[in-house]
Amino acid sequence: MNAKPPADAPVTRRQFLRDGARLMTMTGLGVAAGALAARSTSGAWVWQTDPAKCLHCGNCATQCVLEQSAVKCVHAYAVCGYCQLCTGFFTPEPGDLTTAAENQLCPSGAIKRTYVEDPYYQYSIDEELCIGCAKCVEGCNRFGNGSLFLQIRHDRCLHCNECAIARTCPGQAFRRVPVEHPYLLKTTSR
Amino acid sequence: MFRRLKWIGVLGMMLLPALMICAEQRFPPPDFESGYSLPSPSTPPTRCLWLQYADAGVFLAALAVAVWLIYKKRSRRGLFWLSLFSLAYFGFYRKGCLCPIGSPQNVVYGLFNPDYAVPVTALIFCFAPIAVTLFAGRAFCAGVCPQGALQDLVLVKPVAVPLWLEEALGVVPFIFLGAGLVCAGTGTGFVICRYDPLVPFFRLSGGTFILTAGAAFLLAGMFVGRPYCRFLCPYGGLLRLASLASKWRVRVTPDVCTQCRLCEQSCPFGAMREPAPAESNPASPAPERKRLAWLLALLPLLIIAGAWAGSKLSPAAAQLDPGVALAERYARQQSHPARYGLMTPEALSLDRAAANPGAVLASAADMRHRFDLACWLFGGWIGLVIGVKLIALSVRSGRTDYEPDRGACVACARCFTACPNERVRLGLAPAGGESAPS
Amino acid sequence: MNTSPVYRAFALTAWIAGVFCLLVCGVMIYEHFAAATRDPWTSPRLLALREKLAAEPKNAALQKQIRQLDLEFRRKFRQRLALDKTGGWLLLGGALALVLAAGQAAALKKPPPLPQPQTGVRELAVKRASRARWSLAAVGFAAAGSLLIVRLGHTSVLPANPAAWQKLSAKAPEAPVEDAPALSEFQANWPRFRGWDGSGASAPASKAVSGILWRAAIPLPGNNSPIVWGDHVFISGGTAARREVYGYNASSGALLWQRAIENVPGSPPKVPEVPEDTGYAAPTMATDGRRVYVLFANGDLGALDFGGSIAWTRYLGPLNNPYGCATSLAIWGNNLLVQLDQGGSRPAGSKLILLQGASGRVLWERPRPVPASWATPIVVEAAGKTQIITLANPWVISYALADGNELWRAQLLENEIVPSPVLAGGLVVLLSPSARLLALRPDGAGDVTRTHLAWTSAENVPDIASPVSNGELVFTVTSSGMTTCFQTRDGKKIWEKELETDVQASPGIMDGRLFILGEHGPLVTLQAGREFREMGRIPLPDKFVASPAFAGGHVFLRGMTNLYCLGPAASGLAQQP
């Protein structure tokens, strides 16, 4: 019936069932929403990777839904040894300790090596160039202090409900963290 | 004898004194004499919290406007512009996330995992459309959903889908919903988000498979109205159920229906239902009643059969969870050791499992237990869906006019401008039968 | 209507937009596939060039090539990112134009709706409903069918009932317990490197050793020392192509059997390269009187019975050891101990493993925080516990044999750890090569670096040969032959003597005599006492790096290609070089 029934018509069985279903559903929704809201924090969750669990597999560079991954390498300068022969910067068995392409581990040349004082060199990451492939992280953790690590950069991350990298991470290093503390920075070597 | 030295050995010898001093770090922190100060790692902040609340506010406002446009203004044009706004805001600006389609997963995940608190915005995105639908039909689908708006935009030449195909494919959203809630409840992952084919277009990037699937949906959408909404969207399945109990329903016109069928032709989604013909032969209902009785009796059997079949799925489904997959790999390693390269992620994750196999196996056992229960429910749910659909196809309705099906109608308001009586009522056409071009 | 100019305009726009979209799509797809060869980090061309450079690091032309290619690839990568970005927006705009124009064109072309009244509505409805019901049934069956396929395709290795899983991680039920040989049997034989307790000292003999009794050829080379049990001598040899175990008769030197260790499950057919100086058969074998155990530098571990049949094999690799694995096997009761220290200068998966000898089952495995080392652990009863003393740079670590938990550790070592420790006079005597001779009290717990060092000496510290002790005195030999005697109690040097012969093998003590094996012979016998006294020299025509084995009054030596047995002259052949 397209026309609305008159206001004083008796309630049909269908109408009654419908009203009942609606009432029950609204009650159920209300209870669920209330229960969850009571437990809810004010803010949301964001994804972050735990550097202690990272296996430097390289998935971060390829699995992000964005073409240029939101995961970038970060340097914990306090943990760095400032070595002349940085195992995160140089390939194993570099011919020379120069910044020539054949000596560098980083495929996009994102690590900048600058001289500080003898024999210390500073290594910093250019985030625009970093692709998050974890080659430097592997080199640094295997042979060095482990001061290079990967982190999701929240100015680039889309904050998907399910992080596409999280589900392929072999070390299960990704987890949700409260938005108030969105980074899991490394402060010690291990 | 040991005379060959590689650079590793040289390095080791050079730095041995350092090793002796500092057990924690391989290379001790340097003492800078030139006054160099250590930079600290940058931490770019996330999006402001108030912006997230603003999103929820815009969402609720859009829902309210949609309801007003459908029931008060009854304007197709207004709804069209609202859907474009939603496409721009919730689609391309917010990149389609957080969206109501995926939010039931968050709710179920929060219900069964006490360490995850569902954010308030996710609750609003999940429950508000359902609450609105319980009162006003699928207003969300027409005016607010960006995926729906995208499909409406690409619709060029709608083709009617035969009923048998529509019913058959109509089971898929419920399967998807069930699978999504199972995976979310067990904490395995959010498969509804993973396999949403249209969100990659909002992000303008994605994997090859999902982009191809999305393109296929949009291409199909040029000729079939809203294929994602009708045949895949799990939230659409939920709203369909909610809409059955809605207080108000979309009516083509409150005036008399002249059975001209113009509304039926205008609906691109095949949601218009014809009036049920009168019972001509009192003797003939018997076979239909008998069929209905059989189907009603079949329903509990279908549920049980479905639950049993679903339970068989559990060991395979549980392997979706990475913890269970690791336990499987570990167990397989005990009996048939496979060779993984040194320091590869597979070898390292197996090393971690071997360091504490009890914990890995215990958590995997817990996950399997959850999957057992969830798969029972999933199978029973599918059985229920198929059984109820069968019954619904055998029940006769007492319609006298052409009116949209409660569940299938997405409240797009196209039929308002097609019905001549409604056009007259709205003032779009002069009374008396002449229909001027719009 | 078809030819109205408005319709034509829309149709044309739609066509142009469509072609535009296809073009942009095509370009992006082409770039996507071309990128696979041009990614700066996965490109096969670049990787091949880098490999070539690793072989010839100073090739300037190759370096230039790599730099140019690397720059080109990085540029192309940036260009592709930019292309994808703009391409995405262009595609979006084009698609929008396409659908809007096509929509308008279709709307213009649409004939005005003229629905006809329906006839036969009822029959139509009935037929449609019936068809729909059957299609639903088909969907149900299809779902069940696909479920079956998924079920069959993804079998689970884990047992059906999750409660049974704990058994996987718990210790498997004990295999039937073999009776291990009595301690006296171990002490009477030479079952592992440097004897049953690794001390280098053997049971007393009756007559002095004076000459070669027999010499037997060993088909494949190796640096491992022979082991002796009863009337058997076992030794292994190996190259990259083949690795074998040999069993000889101890009295006659006849080769009883030889068995190759090959096709070990999991062991790659192409073995990793090991430096020639070390070879593939550097670790000395071990035996518990029931089976003999062998470890090769590629990671193959095998157990054979005394008749030469293989009992079990296991692959423990790949081993990451810069000079090649040389740590020998250790044995205690019927359990086998393998120390696999790996890593160049940083630990890389070093571990200590205890296996059940009968089955090869791992009883426990412990990671070690040390890089590669080449000393062999000893298992001793000390401070009321059965302790495994291991050496590496920089830690001496003692583990409990029962469960592998650490008892104590001390950070006292440096350089490349080759000499093995000994238990002498209740102290653990060990060498920090070329640096110090140390003695530790083994009754500590935790880090005992500062607390349990009994004494230390920096005199004539060897870098290769392990020390040997008769309990009261400790003897060391440097690579140039400088022999020094210390007092075990306090490390006081008693005497020292330059033997004027290069020495690689570790010395041994039998029957109060100190045996020192020169690299090119001779076998020098000294009195193992407070006064230096040379008791004899037996010239030997071979090169010796492996340490001697002592059993039943005989000395077994391994030369480059021969196995020698030396003993009292009266009991056999005349002495002949």
Provide mean pLDDT across the span A143-159: 91
Query: Chains A and B: how many Cβ contacts under 8 Å?
Result: 199
H/E element holding C215?
A: strand C211-217
Helix, strand, coil percentages, rounded to 5, for chain C: 25, 30, 45
pLDDT over 80 at C57, yes or no: no
Touching C (3+ Cβ pairs <8 A), the chains are A, B
CB contact under 8 A, A133 and C41: yes
Q: Within C372-485, where are the H helices?
A: none
Determine, for residues B163 and C131 on separate chains, whether the beta-carbon distance falls below 8 Å.
Answer: yes
Residues in B touching C416 (Cβ below 8 Å): 2, 9
Q: Is the predicted pLDDT of residue B179 greater than 90, yes or no?
A: yes
Residues of chain B with C-beta less than 8 angstroms from the C-beta of C131 = 162-164
User: Mean pLDDT, to the nearest integer, of C219-240?
Assistant: 93
DSSP string, C21-80: HHHHHHHHHHHHHHHHHH-TTT-HHHHHHHHHHHHSTT-HHHHHHHHHHHHHHHHHHHHH
pLDDT for res B279 = 59
Considering only CA atoms, which of C429, C413, C419 is closest in space to residue C370? C413
Contacting B residues, span 175-194, partner chain C, CB-CB under 8 Å: 175
Q: For the purposes of burial, counting CB atoms within 10 Å of the CB of C122, is it exposed (0-12), middle (13-18) or buried (19 or more)?
A: middle
Nearest chain C alpha carbon to A99: C67
Is the CB of A91 inside 8 Å of chain C's CB atoms?
yes
Mutate to test the interface with A, among B11, B14, B22, B25 (most CBs of A within 10 A): B25
Q: How far is Cα C129 from Cα C126, in angstroms, rounded to an integer?
A: 5
Q: Does residue B44 sit at the A interface (CB-CB below 8 Å)?
A: yes
Among B105, B118, B256, whose Cβ lies nearest the Cβ of A40?
B118
Residue B145 pLDDT more than 60?
Answer: yes
Mean pLDDT (whole number) for A10-28? 88
On the question of pLDDT at C422 being above 90, the answer is yes
B4 to C275: CB separation less than 8 angstroms, yes or no: yes
Q: Do B262 and C113 touch (CB under 8 A)?
A: yes
Q: How far is C113 from chain B (nearest CA, A)?
A: 7
Partnered with residue A73 across adjacent β-strands are: A150
Span C276-308, pLDDT tens digits = 888 999 999 999 988 999 999 988 999 999 988
The pLDDT-based confidence of C167 (bands split at 50, 70, 90) is: low
The alpha carbon of residue A110 is apart from the nearest alpha carbon of chain C, in Å, by: 11
State yes or no: pLDDT of B112 exceeds 60.
Answer: yes
Query: Which range has the worst mean pLDDT, A27-36, B120-129, B337-346, C190-199?
Result: B337-346
Q: Which residues of chain B from 390 to 419 reach within 8 Å of chain A, CB to CB?
A: 399-403
Q: What is the pLDDT of residue C552?
A: 85
Among B134, B200, B254, whose Cβ lies nearest the Cβ of A3? Answer: B254
Cβ contact C156–B328 (<8 Å): yes
Q: What is the pTM of this model?
A: 0.68
Tell me the mean pLDDT in the region C205-232: 88
The pLDDT of residue A42: 59
CB contact under 8 A, C67 and A93: no
CA distance C569 to C554: 11
CB contact under 8 A, C143 and B337: no
Tokens 């061309």 belong to residue: C45
- 8 Å CB contact of B190 and A22: no
Closest Cβ–Cβ partner in C41, C58, C70 for A101? C70
Q: Is the Cβ of B296 closer than 8 Å to some Cβ of chain C?
A: no
Q: What is the pLDDT of residue B24?
A: 58
All residues of chain B having their beta carbon less than 8 Å from the beta carbon of residue C367 are 355
Please answer yes or no on whether C322 and B365 come within 8 Å at the CB atom: no
Q: Is the pLDDT of residue C567 over 90?
A: no
Higher pLDDT, B190 or C156: B190
Percent over 70 (pLDDT), chain B: 90
Identify the closest residue of chain B to C156 by CA–CA distance. B315
B5 band by pLDDT with thresholds 50, 70 and 90? very low
CB contact under 8 A, B119 and A43: yes
Percentage of chain C beyond pLDDT 70 is: 94
**A40, A82, A83 member nearest B119 (Cβ):** A40
Q: Is B338 on the interface with C (CB under 8 A)?
A: yes
Interfacial C residues in 328-347 facing A (CB < 8 Å): 345-346
Calpha distance B216→B205 (Å, rounded)? 16
Q: Which of B282-286, B295-299, C426-430 has the lowest mean pLDDT?
A: B282-286
Residue B6: its chain C contacts at CB < 8 A? 322, 344
pLDDT tens digits, one per residue of B287-332: 778 888 999 999 999 999 999 999 888 888 888 888 888 888 888 8
Whether residue B277 lies within 8 A of chain C, CB to CB, comes out as yes
Q: Do C118 and B274 touch (CB under 8 A)?
A: yes
Q: Is the pLDDT of residue C94 over 70?
A: yes
Going by pLDDT thresholds of 50, 70 and 90, the confidence category of residue B284 is low
Residue carrying structure tokens 């049993």: B308
SS3 state of residue C386 = strand
Name every residue whose Cβ is closer than 8 Å to that of residue C393 and which is 6 or more positions away in sequence: B16, C370, C371, C373, C413, C414, C415, C416, C417
Token pair, residue C420, equals: 């093995």
Structure tokens at A111: 């690590």
- The number of residues in chain A equals 190
Q: What is the pLDDT of residues C332-377, one digit of tens each?
A: 988 999 999 988 777 777 889 999 888 888 888 888 888 899 999 9
What percent of chain A is predicted at pLDDT more than 70? 93
Say how far apart CA B53 and CA B64 lie, in whole Å: 17
Average pLDDT, whole number, for chain C? 86
| Contact (CB, 8 A) for B388 and B399 | no
CB count, 10 Å around CB of C250? 21
Single-letter code of the amino acid located at C242 = R
Interface test with A, best of B120, B244, B259, B260 (most A CBs within 10 A): B120
At a CB cut-off of 8 Å and minimum separation 6, what does C369 contact? Answer: C347, C350, C395
CA C305 to chain centre: 24
> Cβ A116–B36 below 8 Å, yes or no?
yes
pLDDT (tens digit per residue) in C371-407: 899 999 999 998 888 999 999 988 999 999 988 888 9
Chain A: residue whose CA lies nearest to B194? A162
Interchain proximity A95–C66, CB inside 8 Å: no
For the cut 50, the answer to whether the pLDDT of residue C576 exceeds it is: no
B124, closest residue in chain A (CA to CA): A33
* pLDDT beyond 60 at B435: no
Instruction: Give the number of beta-carbon pairs within 8 Å between B and C.
Output: 200
So what's the pLDDT on residue C577?
A: 43
- Determine contact, residues C133/B387, Cβ cutoff 8 Å: no
- B17 and A CB contact within 8 Å: no
* Helical segments of C380-439, H only: none
Are the Cβ atoms of C132 and B168 closer than 8 angstroms?
yes
Partners of residue C322 in chain B, C-beta under 8 Å? 6, 8-9
- Testing the interface with C: which of A65, A99, A102, A142 to mutate, by most C Cβ within 10 A? A102
Query: Are A179 and B39 a contacting pair at CB < 8 A?
Result: no
Q: What is the pLDDT of residue B80?
A: 94
